[in-house]
Structure 1
């Protein structure tokens, strides 16, 4: 969204112009100073109209004042856009760092609970085995055997044998019971650790959520500043040229430029509509193929659809409600690796698909877009919340390549962005992540379980 453009009659005196320039400068400074707030500056800049330019031509002093003012406005537009972009990138990097801490904490908590459950299961099995030993000893006579040995008799030798056997059973039962007690103690300790980790995770998750809100607001402001620059820069430059050169030629060139710009916007709009139509047709064909496969399975049930191959186009799926987010083969997998840009060994939380520059990125499933903006080393980034603790994320999007907004509802296969190489990247590709329960999982196995292959 862009700030409204307000035009007003041009003040005639130089002193008034200077006051106006000062007010504009203060407004720009105020905008930069509010970059950390949650909303753009309320006061829009005031731009001269063509009537203002024409009125300034008659008096040299007014003309020079307006030249200075317009040059200041052009410079201010660029400064505003650059400052907003830098602030959005700074907060995006903070969001990435906070989110990474939350991801690791979630994975730690999940691992502790899994270990606690495993030890509890072993303890339960050991306790059951100790119980079986005790029952077997009871059936064999237990303490009565010892009494029989002490009183002697013809069968004492057999009774001594029985006592030895019972002694071994007792030793085994004691070892099993000790193991059960130990495993139960370990399970309790791990559960306590997991509970403490959960408290830490709650704080880290909230911190990440806060950083995301700040980063999203900064990204929105950066987009607004960019939109304002694009909307007003060409007109201001044409007005400036009109003041320092011939009016008729300049205004004609400006009008031609506006026609070219509008034609380009129309071309892009039609191209986007065509791409969306293609994606929709692809989804319909995939759904029809899945329905035909299901109908052909007979009473015994149909086999699951085969996963798509590595060269599949974005949107290819199996009728499960999940589709491939982009084309290209996997160039880097999930797990710990040496970062190709920084050289640091760290977790690679997703997979990289070697998609072509500016090719389509589509939503892997239906959901709500919860972030659109810079994200540290991931460059331009989109994240989608699919509900039930499941999210997908898409990184390294090309500058100007966002096709969705925060809060937007999307369906599987919806065009959300274009492939790029922003952030820590050595070439155009899509970084794709799957988040479950606050941590990350391997997208290959996650998507494969839903009939989508890479």
Structure 2
């Protein structure tokens, strides 16, 4: 009996030690998760600045090309006028003036008038050319500056991605350590409970108690699973009814292996739009996504098979999931409701698999899916991309 009591005291001490360790790890998990979310927000800002710099560089290059075309046209016009002047006058014009001077002077005056008009044309052509050439030089200079700014933004974006990856790794390591410690704590607590029960009752009685607890837990887990399944089915039915038949069939698979990410019509397209603010989060003035009106709690489906690279809070996205599909292609799903994740980072998913449920977290007005398509570091228009793969949106 004394040995049993000593073992019980030792087990209790181990439980206390592991509980203290868990408390410290919980703080570490919170800190690393906060750092990861901060890095994610910084990446979002860097991505926005990179996209804006890319569009500015393209606009300025278009201006430079237009000015160069004007300068080239002015150059050709000046050359044509010079050739015409040579053909109609040149060195022979002085002779014509001398010969005509022997007459009544009218013809000479006419030649002088032609010469003056020709000189004015040449002068105007020269002015047009110089102005166009100056505009070309200025636009090209601005274009060079824009490209430098674009390169700098790309460097910052890549650095932000690296910082986010490091922060995610730290957060995952802390979470894994916490999970291991919690598992060890459960094991030690079970051992301690066994020792305490052994002092008061027989081993058979303890095993019966363990079996009863296991049965109750299994029943609880089964009941929760049934409740979640019923809620998901009800949400899906509500989303189908709310879409009025105008939206695509969420989760339906195309022959190319791509699926519509949610049911519902398109409520927001890719391009410029008014800034949206909600709870202190404000969107940008350019919408790099397509919005699908799903209704609250509707299922969100993986557009293609891949690996989850992000599942958490991300600035104006609110709750966000990002999936890498290989070949430098990724998709993003924003404004997920709180508690609406069905996947985690590192998990492999299949096309059409339910990954989350829709909400209005982040910079959103009403429940909907904000759907993005990434090619490398650039966000492109999802509508033609998905249509090309047989999974039309809306």
For normalisation by structure 1, the TM-score amounts to 0.63
Q: 1:426 and 1:85, CA in 2 relative to 1: closer, same or farther beyond 3 A?
A: farther
CA distance in 1, matches of 2:137, 2:127: 15
Which of 244, 254, 272 in structure 1 is aligned with 2:210?
A: 254
Q: Give the number of aligned pairs.
A: 364
CA distance in 1, matches of 2:141, 2:165: 36
Residue 182, structure 1, aligned to residue 134, structure 2:
yes
In the alignment, is the contact (CA less than 8 A) between 1:94 and 1:376 conserved in 2? no
Equivalent in the alignment of 1:391: 330
CA distance in 1, matches of 2:342, 2:217: 20
CA distance in 2, matches of 1:253, 1:324: 49
CA distance in 2, matches of 1:96, 1:257: 44
Equivalent in the alignment of 2:260: 324
> How far is 1:94 from its partner?
1.4
Moved more, 221-230 or 206-215: 221-230
Equivalent in the alignment of 1:313: 249
Residue 114, structure 1, aligned to residue 59, structure 2:
yes
Give CA-to-partner distance per residue, 1:15-48, whole Å, 9 cap, x none: xxxxxxxxxxxxxxxxxxxxxxxxxxxxxxxxxx
Equivalent in the alignment of 1:39: none
In the alignment, is the contact (CA less than 8 A) between 2:282 and 2:363 conserved in 1? no
Which of 34, 43, 46 in structure 2 is aligned with 1:89?
A: 34
> How far is 1:249 from its partner?
5.8
Equivalent in the alignment of 2:25: 80
> How far is 1:177 from its partner?
0.7
> How far is 1:116 from its partner?
1.8
> How far is 1:243 from its partner?
5.0
Residue 401, structure 1, aligned to residue 341, structure 2:
yes
CA distance in 1, matches of 2:60, 2:68: 12
Structure 1 segments unaligned to the other structure (5+ residues) = 1-54, 276-307
> How far is 1:259 from its partner?
4.7
Which of 87, 90, 111 in structure 2 is aligned with 1:159?
A: 111
Give CA-to-partner distance per residue, 1:297-338, whole Å, 9 cap, x none: xxxxxxxxxxx9753332347767654322345566664513
CA distance in 2, matches of 1:356, 1:253: 46
Which of 189, 192, 195 in structure 1 is aligned with 2:147?
A: 195
Equivalent in the alignment of 2:275: 337
CA distance in 2, matches of 1:365, 1:420: 21
In the alignment, is the contact (CA less than 8 A) between 1:404 and 1:417 conserved in 2? no
Q: Map 1:54-453 onto structure 2 (within 5 A).
A: 58-59=4-5, 61-74=6-19, 76-77=21-22, 79-81=24-26, 83-140=28-85, 141=87, 144=90, 147=94, 150-151=97-98, 153=100, 155-221=107-173, 223-225=175-177, 227-228=179-180, 231=183, 235-242=187-194, 251-259=207-215, 264=221, 311-316=247-252, 322-329=258-265, 335-342=273-280, 344=282, 346-347=284-285, 349-355=288-294, 359-365=298-304, 369-385=308-324, 390-397=329-336, 399=339, 401-403=341-343, 405-406=345-346, 408=348, 412-419=351-358, 429-436=368-375, 438-441=377-380, 443=382, 447=386, 452-453=392-393
Give CA-to-partner distance per residue, 1:360-380, whole Å, 9 cap, x none: 433334566544455345454
> How far is 1:185 from its partner?
0.5
Moved more, 172-181 or 326-335: 326-335
Q: CA RMSD in A?
A: 4.4
What secondary structure sits across from 2:278 in the alignment?
coil
In the alignment, is the contact (CA less than 8 A) between 1:107 and 1:439 conserved in 2? no
Higher CA-based Rg: 2
In the alignment, is the contact (CA less than 8 A) between 2:318 and 2:334 conserved in 1? yes
Structure 2 segments unaligned to the other structure (5+ residues) = 101-105, 233-243
Equivalent in the alignment of 2:240: none
